[in-house]
Structure 1
Amino acid sequence: MVLKEARILVIDDDLDVLTALRLLLKPLVKEVVIEKNPSNINFQIENSKFDIIILDMNFNGLVNTGNEGIFWLNKIKEKKPEIAVILITAYADIDLAIRGLKEGASDFLVKPWKNEKIINTITSLLEAKKSSGSKKKTHQVENSEIIGDSDAMNAVFLKLKKIAPTDANVLILGENGTGKDLIAKALHENSNRSRMPFVKVDVGSLSSSLFESELFGYKKGAFTDAREDRKGRFEVAHGGTLFLDEIGNISLDQQGRLLTILQNRVVTPLGSNESIPIDIRLICATNIDPTILADEKKFRKDLIYRINTVDVIIPPLRDRENDITILSKHFISIYADKYNKGAISLDSGFISKLKKHQFPGNVRELQYVLERAVIMAEDSVLKSDDLVFSSIERTTTTNSIPTTNLDDLEKQAILSVLEKNKGNVSKSAKELGITRAALYRRLDKYEL
């Protein structure tokens, strides 16, 4: 049994707590070490190997804020990131415990705890570590299309398992093409609302007028084209999950309207005086740099607090080198079947060339690169020469030969703006003075 092989360190300045946990765990695990002084943490983890640390959030001092626990949690994660940390906190400090999860804790226990809960929590963490340490699964979250085997993605999977069953609002952060929509879907599918609607809205592409009618709905006659009543996305998602994509691109005025809805938990359709109660779990996503979200001139802090109970940061593909082979085989299989190519394998040169590429477009770019390779393949084995990156996937240069061809000029302008905005289609379309749909048509026209 996994539990029998475990080594556990318990850190608490309350001797009664240490004694109780030692008596509980000693018959079940290989070793239990208790430590009253948190200053000895470094010594303990440097001189002994622990699978799990149980850490108190508050230590005796002039003020008990829980920051002591966060401080020592960060020290542990800095020195030994592989050790799972379970926080012990009072019921009144649940918000602090959630902050601990953001800082890297694996779970938390609320005083007074139940012995069965502690044992189940420890067992689950140990089993998760064992499965990731042996032959890891490529799908780490149930009912999910997310594929990954890297340390970076395993950390994301562990976090998803913790927060999915809750009703906590989640903010998903990550570059374009990292799969934020898949993460949102996985959170819904593994929640208690999985049988209810999952409604996605690309709020970054909505104008001010469409923002209100799309999200809040409208009554017949509310405006010129309102020929019948229509439910807004909040109402459609009632009982389920509402996923607001590109939340970082909405205006301050739209942010204010959204904040009001989230505070009051009611929506009023356009053209109506009737307020409709809503029960939704909110998931938001953005590719905007967190420093921009922290700028109150661009994003309201009170809204950030509402939508960001827990954040999930999706690593870019360049930080997931171990996943490239797994993802490549997955997509090659899909496209070989789609284009009736039969079984296709990849030689080492093909994989090596893939791993050297930075993939500014992340998994989405990898997917399109591989689809192109399968379409053009003349053999059942793909080699490095079969791997070609398009102009949008390469860094554009300023030393290109001048051209007066209108199509070339338009293509170069699109490439330049997309690169400037790190692939953000909404921002690029706005800067170019065209709609997202128009930009997508041009991307298709120039095979970008």
Structure 2
Amino acid sequence: MTLKNASILVVDDDVDMLTAIHMLLKTEVKQIVTEKNPENIRSLFSQYHFDIVLLDMNFTSAINTGNEGIFWLRTIKELKPETDVIMITAYGAIDLAVRTLKEGASDFIVKPWHNERLLTTIKEMARKKGSQEYKSSINPDSTIIGKELLGESEIMRDMFFKVEKIAPTDANILILGENGTGKDGIARAIHQHSRRNNKPYIKVDVGALTETLFESELFGHKKGSFTDAREDRVGRFESADNGTLFLDEIGNISLQQQAKLLTVLQNRQVTRLGSNEAIPVDIRLICATNVPLAELANENRFRKDLIYRINTVEIVIPPLRKRGNDIILLAEHYRNIYSNKYMKNIGGFTGDARDKLLSYHFPGNVRELQYTIERAVIMSDNDMLQASDLIFSPIESNMPETAEPVDTNLSKMEKHTILKVIEKHQGNITRAAKELGLTRTALYRRISKYDI
């Protein structure tokens, strides 16, 4: 179906917005109907056939659900399930808009929008209308899931879905997650799927910059502006012009650094050290931190006005321990990489090895898993990786299983008993677990707990 054959309904209580869209679309589509009262939706659907509906997220109507857009989206889907619905939202409600995609919306647009972008969205939807290739839910083979962004768990599918929807926008993004979860990988994926993907992607670990280096590194300097400034230098903001700037470990910068950063983000221009000339910059900003948002909101630690500036949309990357069988998916991925790298013919993991991986809590997340598999491949002499090949890093000290001290007399007795039974069965975990009255998973937890 072409746009010229499409019948479109626009529902919004902003009369000026309805007028603007009507003017934009009246020569582009077969029929356009505008309505400011969403309570007339049922009546309109009884009178007309609509291919596409543009629906605002919020109304001042008799329906007071707190998110009226979802209520009316459900109503439309009950009346005509095949109707494509595009949600209209403001930047501050993008998280809610992403929720509507799970409720059956086909897409969303952020206001104020560019007319060309709106037309492109509607044209593409009209083109795909009725095609079997069109899917409104995330595809596990989606291009956003690259070689380093693997995941089939529900929690990761939700995150990938969100990334796909916000990547093409210019919204500032804050990525939250523990160390080792892959924040840099997500930031790169967002850049690669943005409209700036053929422009620079510049990463800066701002948490590692000293007070004296912070301004020079980010904003640049003029020759002679300080002792070691032997030549003019372009800062990272200028280097990222028209592209994406990724500020990693943003939660670790001082309040003084935050004030300088906020000024640049507000004015969208930088002034090099030793210069009075303001240089305009056009960047898409992505920030990341391992500091929880609740902690970041403490104004003694981080300015709230800066949080709002960098956090149009937040993405939370779950820790590996919450991703279920993704652990095995990633382990197989790294086994394949390192088997090829070290020219080893290792075909997979034994059942005991898989159980050991699934029962470990991975405080170092994906990074720790990667190093664990690399070490196992290097050291193994077998054609399958065994449980004994998997030695977890002693560097990581976050051990949630050890709520009690492990050096109590009772713990020593348990450790001694486990060791004795494992030796008795010559390392056969299944038999040892059976004698101890434990499942294999429970036994592996204790093996990890006592560092056996």
Q: Same fold (TM over 0.5)?
A: yes
CA displacement at 1:338 relative to structure 2:
1.6
Which residue number in structure 2 is paired with residue 69 of structure 1?
68
Range that drifts further, 145-154 or 220-229: 145-154
The two structures have a TM-score, normalised by structure 1, of: 0.69
Does the CA contact (< 8 Å) of 1:198 and 1:237 recur in 2? Answer: yes
CA displacement at 1:101 relative to structure 2:
3.0
- Cα 1:13–1:322 change in 2 (3 A) is farther
Which residue number in structure 2 is paired with residue 195 of structure 1?
198
1:367 aligned residue (346, 365, 370): 370
User: Residue 13 of structure 1 aligns to a residue in which SS?
Assistant: helix
- Cα 1:315–1:375 change in 2 (3 A) is same
Does the CA contact (< 8 Å) of 1:199 and 1:241 recur in 2? Answer: yes
The one-letter code of the counterpart of 2:319 is: P
2:282 aligned residue (259, 279, 285): 279
User: Residue 363 of structure 1 aligns to a residue in which SS?
Assistant: helix
* Cα distance in 1 between the residues matched to 2:138 and 2:294: 36
1:246 aligns with 2:249: yes
1:15 aligns with 2:30: no
CA displacement at 1:16 relative to structure 2:
6.4
* Cα distance in 1 between the residues matched to 2:312 and 2:46: 32
The one-letter code of the counterpart of 1:368 is: Y
User: Residue 23 of structure 1 aligns to a residue in which SS?
Assistant: coil
Does the CA contact (< 8 Å) of 1:143 and 1:190 recur in 2? Answer: no
User: Residue 61 of structure 2 aligns to a residue in which SS?
Assistant: coil
- Cα 1:399–1:109 change in 2 (3 A) is closer
* Cα distance in 1 between the residues matched to 2:100 and 2:191: 22
CA displacement at 1:236 relative to structure 2:
0.8
* Cα distance in 2 between the residues matched to 1:149 and 1:256: 40
* Cα distance in 1 between the residues matched to 2:198 and 2:371: 32
Which residue number in structure 1 is paired with residue 180 of structure 2?
177
- Cα 1:122–1:372 change in 2 (3 A) is farther
Which residue number in structure 2 is paired with residue 50 of structure 1?
none
The two structures have a TM-score, normalised by structure 2, of: 0.68
The one-letter code of the counterpart of 1:57 is: M
Which residue number in structure 1 is paired with residue 310 of structure 2?
307
CA displacement at 1:125 relative to structure 2:
11
Note the alpha carbon deviations across 1:287-321, whole angstroms, 9 max, x for none: 10110122222111111111111111111111111
1:150 aligned residue (135, 153, 157): 153
1:207 aligns with 2:210: yes
User: Residue 395 of structure 2 aligns to a residue in which SS?
Assistant: helix
- Cα 1:274–1:124 change in 2 (3 A) is farther
Does the CA contact (< 8 Å) of 1:57 and 1:67 recur in 2? Answer: no
CA displacement at 1:21 relative to structure 2:
10
1:378 aligned residue (363, 378, 381): 381
- Cα 1:286–1:333 change in 2 (3 A) is same
Does the CA contact (< 8 Å) of 2:376 and 2:391 recur in 1? Answer: yes
* Cα distance in 2 between the residues matched to 1:321 and 1:73: 35
Does the CA contact (< 8 Å) of 1:140 and 1:148 recur in 2? Answer: no
Gapped runs of 5+ residues in structure 2? 1-10, 12-36, 76-83, 409-452
Query: Residues 410-429 of structure 1 correspond to what in structure 2 (within 5 A)?
Result: none
CA displacement at 1:24 relative to structure 2:
2.3
The one-letter code of the counterpart of 2:180 is: G
1:288 aligns with 2:284: no
The one-letter code of the counterpart of 1:19 is: F
CA displacement at 1:230 relative to structure 2:
0.8
Does the CA contact (< 8 Å) of 2:346 and 2:385 recur in 1? Answer: no
Which residue number in structure 2 is paired with residue 356 of structure 1?
359
- Cα 1:361–1:355 change in 2 (3 A) is same
CA displacement at 1:95 relative to structure 2:
3.1
Note the alpha carbon deviations across 1:239-287, whole angstroms, 9 max, x for none: 1110000001111111110000001111111111111111111000011
1:95 aligns with 2:91: yes
Does the CA contact (< 8 Å) of 2:346 and 2:382 recur in 1? Answer: no
CA displacement at 1:73 relative to structure 2:
9.7
* Cα distance in 2 between the residues matched to 1:258 and 1:350: 48
User: Residue 242 of structure 1 aligns to a residue in which SS?
Assistant: strand
Aligned length: 351
Which residue number in structure 2 is paired with residue 220 of structure 1?
223
1:317 aligned residue (320, 326, 329): 320
Note the alpha carbon deviations across 1:359-392, whole angstroms, 9 max, x for none: 1111011101111111110111112122121323
* Cα distance in 2 between the residues matched to 1:352 and 1:212: 49
* Cα distance in 1 between the residues matched to 2:48 and 2:110: 18
Q: Which has the larger radius of gyration?
A: 2
User: Residue 67 of structure 2 aligns to a residue in which SS?
Assistant: helix
User: Residue 196 of structure 2 aligns to a residue in which SS?
Assistant: coil
CA RMSD across the alignment: 3.7
- Cα 1:142–1:291 change in 2 (3 A) is closer
* Cα distance in 1 between the residues matched to 2:170 and 2:47: 30
The one-letter code of the counterpart of 1:244 is: L
* Cα distance in 1 between the residues matched to 2:360 and 2:47: 50
- Cα 1:360–1:121 change in 2 (3 A) is farther
* Cα distance in 2 between the residues matched to 1:361 and 1:243: 22
Gapped runs of 5+ residues in structure 1? 1-9, 27-52, 77-84, 402-448
User: Residue 199 of structure 1 aligns to a residue in which SS?
Assistant: strand
1:234 aligned residue (227, 232, 237): 237
CA displacement at 1:162 relative to structure 2:
0.9
Range that drifts further, 275-284 or 94-103: 94-103
Does the CA contact (< 8 Å) of 1:202 and 1:244 recur in 2? Answer: yes
User: Residue 345 of structure 1 aligns to a residue in which SS?
Assistant: coil
